[in-house]
Amino acid sequence: MRIALLGELELRDDDDGLVEIAGVRLRRLLARLVLAGGRPGSAEGLVGAVWGDEPRSYVEALAAHHRLELGRGAGRDAPAPPPTAA
């Protein structure tokens, strides 16, 4: 997988095929994760950067959906979501 950030955000699979990234928020989420360079960060920081003031339950549902979409686009299953605190 290859991600280009200069110019328009572009995601390519292992066969160099272009992977569609639908929606501004999904592109923003992916760019934010790439720019983090694998360093851990807070969920609150990511949520604030991508979704702003949207209700938390809505944001969590969208994040789960985006995680699945990115996994499908890369030609493999997305990782299981982390367990939630009860």
Question: What is the DSSP code string of the chain?
Answer: -EEE-SSS-EEE-TTSPEEP--SHHHHHHHHHHHHTTT----HHHHHHHHHTTS-HHHHHHHHHHHHHHHHHHTTSPPPPPPPPP-
* 16 inside domain: yes
* 83 inside domain: no
- pLDDT tier, 38 (very low <50, low <70, confident <90, very high otherwise): confident
* 25 inside domain: yes
- Number of domains present in the structure of the chain: 1
* 9 inside domain: yes
Entry pTM: 0.58
- Reply yes or no on whether the pLDDT at 18 is more than 80: yes
Q: What is the pLDDT of residue 15?
A: 92
CA distance 84 to 24: 26
> Domain containing 25: what range?
2-73
From residue 62, alpha-carbon distances to 43, 48, 50 in Å are 13, 14, 11
75 against 37, higher pLDDT? 37
- Reply yes or no on whether the pLDDT at 84 is more than 50: yes
**Among 9-18, 54-63, 67-76, the range of highest mean pLDDT:** 9-18
53 against 18, higher pLDDT? 18
